[in-house]
Amino acid sequence: MHKDIATPIRTKDILNKYGFSFKKSLGQNFLIDPNILRNITEYANLTKESGVIEIGPGIGALTEHLARSSGKVVAFEIDQRLMPILKDTLSPYDNVKIVNEDILKADVKKIINEEFSHIDKLMVVANLPYYVTTPIILKLITEALPIQGIVVMLQKEVAERISAKPGTKHYGSLSIAIQYYMTAEVVMIVPKTVFMPQPNVDSAVIRLMKRPKPKVDVVDEKFFFEVTRASFAQRRKTLINNLTSQLLEGKAKKAEIIEVLHSLNIDPTRRGETLSLEEFASLCNALYPIIK
């Protein structure tokens, strides 16, 4: 097996060889601890039959672990300066393809169809650039991509929001948007010392696995997410005040919404953060004929 890229010495050597300087604006905090990379890879449960999509390979620290454990890796990297470096560092692996594109602009579905037509299990595994964590995860989840799961390093605070349960301080529309489609568990808390340069925030690894079908039945997904976002618009406001100020636009009367809430046994003075996904689904389905 080849020497790991992710040791402090080898990383420094590679950066010096190419005169590479980190761009903070691209969230470039590279991993320099092979144990963390092994753990992330293990949490993805890969086999030689699995395909992997990586976002932001950097100098290839995680990519090489993924290449060793899976059938094929396709990695999206926005920074053109990293292309010659990756060509060099990943030269021992013939099952890696680097795509020099912004993941948020890329046609990921098309690339999956082209690159993974013979692969049954597809996982996304990454140490995400922190300035765009949420848009990337939402893109992966809402574009109905044929992926089974996502194992990613991200800010601890965002990991807590994604996996939060009702009634807790981190629970909000992001928890619901993701838990609707995926199960979510924080599998590892990671110290700042394993990065070069060290980020300002604490990090965590989260594992999201796609549910066979969404957690709750709703008449209209778009409206379901509108209702949940509205319910959390101002966290200190009651449910009824958030719903009326965000959703009504003169289309229905506050009294009708109060009636709907009572019929569902939901006290209108509760706050959005106390409602379960099931309660939000009933609320969405009962409000739909009134508001839509």
Q: Which residues of this chain interact with ligand SAM, rule CB under 6 A? A: 26-31, 55-58, 61-62, 76-79, 102-104, 127, 129, 132
155/242 with CB nearer ligand SAM: 155
Question: Is 102 marked as a binding-site residue?
Answer: yes
98/227 with CB nearer ligand SAM: 98
89/231 with CB nearer ligand SAM: 89
**8 A C-beta contact, residue 37 and residue 15:** no
Closest CA to 121 of 32, 50, 169, 190: 50
User: Which secondary-structure segment (H or E) carries 72?
Assistant: strand 72-76
Residues 154, 202: Cα–Cα separation, whole Å:
9
Residues 48, 67: Cα–Cα separation, whole Å:
9
Q: How far is the CB of 17 from ligand SAM (least distance, A)?
A: 16
72/229 with CB nearer ligand SAM: 72
Q: How far is the CB of 220 from ligand SAM (least distance, A)?
A: 30
Question: Is 29 marked as a binding-site residue?
Answer: yes
Q: How far is the CB of 73 from ligand SAM (least distance, A)?
A: 11
Question: Is 272 marked as a binding-site residue?
Answer: no
**8 A C-beta contact, residue 264 and residue 287:** no
Q: What residue number has its CB nearest to ligand SAM?
A: 56
Residues 48, 43: Cα–Cα separation, whole Å:
15
| DSSP state, residue 102 | -
Question: Is 31 marked as a binding-site residue?
Answer: yes
Question: Is 16 marked as a binding-site residue?
Answer: no
